[in-house]
Amino acid sequence: MTKKISLLRVCLILIVIITGICVGFSYYTRLKEPVFLKYCVATSAVPSITTGYQQPVLELQYLTNNTDQREVIGLSFAEAPDYSFIATENAQYYGGSFTFFSNNSTPQLGEAIGPYRLRKVFLYMNNYFLEDWKGEVELNNALVNFNDGSSCKVNLGRILIYSDGATDNALLMMNSTSSNQGIAETTFRAQQDLNNLKMESPLIEEASRKLELTLNTHFYNEIESLHLKRGDSLTVTSCDKSDPGMIDKNDVYDVIDVRPLLTYDKENGTRGSIRIYDMMRRKYFYGYMDVLKCLIRRGVF
């Protein structure tokens, strides 16, 4: 009987210790503020007159506690105070109008991952603004407004919004492949002689710290001597250099999608360009350990 009582005491003590550890860990890992993913991305903004319906310029994601019932209802950027944006977690644009779905149909937004939820914010640019807008703008620091009247300032990384797709018929895309090993490859065929190739993007140098970009085995910044004759193939390869098993605090970006411009001299003496879509790294599915690694890498705890 004495042994049974002693064993029961040990079990109760272990239960109390384990419960205390779990409660402490839960308290320690609770988020004080939503944590937005960081982006090093380029994306196009096209008015609905062209597309037939309005598409979001970008889908932003953030992590928050499961108990957080707030919703994002507005977002503005310090770098673009005169630009008109609409941000929402539960709206879709069609033909320039939008519909808000009530909480009755979507009681909980986002994906539950342990004690957190991964939420998504759809970012639109005002259609009337886009009709005459040309060029590009880089966005970094945002003021996020919630439906309970609260707000927070966040650094979203480097988001480059541009107005054109930069298509050209001098290079014909033949095929494109990607793998879960982080390798993406696209092959083009030159329709005419092309010289003085150059890869251009204000984001490419920063993205190249984690993604290796080559053109016919030449590094992206060493292609000036690359000459293409009519019928030659050009293979663009992007390779993820990061180790998914490591927590690298220098790896500051959760999403990379740079879309640099490949420019070149054409036979008629003009300068042509196309966008390259291979330089991308994006995680589509997050598990609990992925979330913890992300938060540790960001220095949240």
| Residues 121 and 60 sit within 8 Å (Cβ to Cβ) | yes
Supply the pLDDT for residue 52.
46
Supply the pLDDT for residue 94.
38
Based on C-alpha coordinates, what's the Rg of the chain?
24
Q: Which residues pair with 260 in a beta bridge?
A: none
Whether 100 shows a pLDDT value over 60: the answer reads: no
Whether 50 shows a pLDDT value over 80: the answer reads: no
The structure tokens 């109390």 sit at 16
Supply the pLDDT for residue 168.
83
CA gap 64, 144 in Å, rounded: 14
Q: Left, alpha or beta for 114 (phi > 0: left; psi -120 to 50: alpha)?
A: left
246 or 103, which is more confident: 246
pLDDT band at 238 (very low <50, low <70, confident <90, very high): very high
Whether 152 shows a pLDDT value over 80: the answer reads: yes
Residue 183: phi, psi to the nearest 5? -110, 125
Helices (H), 36-85: 48-51
Residue of 293, 298, 259 lying closest to 40 (CA atoms): 259
Residue of 254, 192, 184, 249 lying closest to 214 (CA atoms): 184
In this structure, what token pair is assigned to residue 24?
């402490």
Lowest mean pLDDT among 32-46, 91-105, 150-164, 251-265: 91-105
Supply the pLDDT for residue 108.
66
| Residues 77 and 85 sit within 8 Å (Cβ to Cβ) | yes
Supply the pLDDT for residue 78.
92
225 or 72, which is more confident: 72
Residue of 81, 265, 89 lying closest to 190 (CA atoms): 265
DSSP string, 187-223: EEEESS-BEEEEEE-TTHHHHTTTEEEEETTEETTS-
Q: Kindly state the percentage of the chain with pLDDT values over 70.
A: 83
CB pairs under 8 A, 24+ apart, for 21-26? 26/115
Supply the pLDDT for residue 277.
92
Residue of 149, 165, 11, 147 lying closest to 91 (CA atoms): 147
The structure tokens 């960081």 sit at 38
CA gap 244, 285 in Å, rounded: 13
Of all residues in the chain, what percent are helix, strand and coil, respectively (each to 5)? Answer: 15, 40, 45
Residue 136: phi, psi to the nearest 5? -155, 155
